[in-house]
Amino acid sequence: MSHRTLERVFVRMLFDPAFVDAVYADAADALAGLDLTPAEVANIVETDRRAWGHDPLRRLRTLRTLFDEFKASSTMVMAATRSMTALDAFFSGREFHAAVQHRGSLAGAFAAFLERIRVERAIDEPLLCDVLRLEAMMARCRRALEAAAMPAEGVAARTAAIGAGAGLNRTVAFAAGHAVGRFDANVVEAVNAVEKYLFEVGLMPAVALCDDAPRLGGMPGAAGVPAYLLALPSGSAVSLMPVDEDYFQLLDAFSGGARRLGDAFRGVKGVSREDLLTMAESLVEGGVLEIVSPR
């Protein structure tokens, strides 16, 4: 409906003065392709343009919320660019506008923006890509938990009740709040190094004003060997647990969505079908996976 489209345009204008300038300069061009009536477009440009800038801290407050989910990767980007503007530019970026206009995930858009900055600015931090992927995975899990509207214990109890005797024809998916990824073995050490730095600076934030302020350092290099990490609910939060390669292969088969167990098994190498079935049943009973179709 066009009024929903209009509301999303309003949000974009509240966050992005450059978009406001574009709309007032040529509304037909700036709003091309959107489901808006001529009257709605006129309503936008007839509004006193000062209304869009009445809250100068709106971007900073939202950026702080996003930073809380991407602390390590955001800090690594700022350390490399020495620029707060590098992150603030998110609100003028295509990722932000697409997420707002099409009801996408703002956290997912911010992750995509950080990855674009990493590539475009050729940031030479060997673990940044993996740290960003890890934080993005955990952000997706948190949102999946919120969408499921149930505590982690409820997820585990429900999946355990339906998990006995899973057959190859059953369709299985990750339970809410779970995901798996393959990362460099030093990725958690890198996150911990950033969090240690942020804690120390946070003891007296005014040190940021000093020329000799602490700088992010002591970051580990890439280990060159993989770590397989499972994200899983921990109360209302998400924690990490290492898994071995066999479990990773099986779990990763469901990263793209629900699949038949038999189809998932075909992508796992070096593990017998009997062992895979045992692993799958234990994962269902443990609440990591859930059966979404009995046949």
* Residue 175 forms part of a structural domain: yes
Q: Which of 48-57, 73-82, 138-147, 160-169 has the lowest mean pLDDT?
A: 160-169
One domain for residues 47 and 165 = no
What angle separates helix 71-81 from helix 106-120, to the nearest 10 degrees?
30
Task: Strands of 95-236 (E only): list them.
Answer: 171-174, 179-184, 226-234
So what's the pLDDT on residue 153? 47
One domain for residues 160 and 93 = no
**110 and 71 Cβ atoms separated by less than 8 Å:** no
One domain for residues 278 and 168 = yes
* Residue 136 forms part of a structural domain: no
So what's the pLDDT on residue 235? 84
Who's near 81: CB < 8 A, 6+ residues apart?
117, 121, 123
Quick one: average pLDDT of 165-172? 75
For residue 159, pLDDT beyond 90:
no
Whole-angstrom CA distances from 29 to 22, 37, 41, 209 are 8, 14, 11, 43
pLDDT digits (tens, 9 = 90+) for 87-146: 999 999 999 999 999 999 999 999 999 999 999 999 999 999 999 999 999 999 999 998
Secondary structure letter of residue 53 according to DSSP: G
One domain for residues 148 and 271 = yes
So what's the pLDDT on residue 288? 95
Closest CA to 99 of 231, 8, 182: 8
* Residue 132 forms part of a structural domain: no
pLDDT digits (tens, 9 = 90+) for 180-210: 999 999 999 999 999 999 999 999 999 988 9
So what's the pLDDT on residue 152? 44
For residue 231, the SS3 value is strand
pLDDT digits (tens, 9 = 90+) for 12-21: 999 999 999 9
**179 and 283 Cβ atoms separated by less than 8 Å:** no
What angle separates helix 128-148 from helix 71-81, to the nearest 10 degrees?
150
One domain for residues 276 and 214 = yes
When pLDDT is cut at 50, 70 and 90, the band that residue 149 belongs to is: low
* Residue 36 forms part of a structural domain: yes
**134 and 229 Cβ atoms separated by less than 8 Å:** yes
One domain for residues 178 and 282 = yes
Q: How many domains does the chain have?
A: 3
* Structure token digits, residue 78: 């700022």
So what's the pLDDT on residue 174? 96
Helix (H), strand (E) at residue 226:
strand 226-234
So what's the pLDDT on residue 294? 59
Domain of 110 in residue numbering reads as: 58-125
Q: Which of 125, 156, 180 is the last residue of a domain?
A: 125
Handedness of CA 104, 110, 115, 116 (dihedral sign): positive
Average pLDDT, the chain: 90
Please report the DSSP string for 241-281 in residue order.
Answer: EE--HHHHHHHHTTTTS-EEHHHHHHT--SS-HHHHHHHHH
The pTM for the full model equals 0.89
Q: How many CB atoms lie within 10 A of CB 187?
A: 26
For residue 147, pLDDT beyond 90:
no
* Residue 134 forms part of a structural domain: no
* Residue 115 forms part of a structural domain: yes
One domain for residues 229 and 251 = yes
What angle separates helix 38-45 from helix 17-25, to the nearest 10 degrees?
120
Percent of the chain with pLDDT over 70: 93
* Structure token digits, residue 71: 């602390």
For residue 161, pLDDT beyond 70:
no
Who's near 247: CB < 8 A, 6+ residues apart?
228, 230, 279, 283
* Residue 135 forms part of a structural domain: no
Q: At 33, phi and psi to the nearest 5?
A: 90, -5
**192 and 206 Cβ atoms separated by less than 8 Å:** no
So what's the pLDDT on residue 164? 41
One domain for residues 212 and 283 = yes
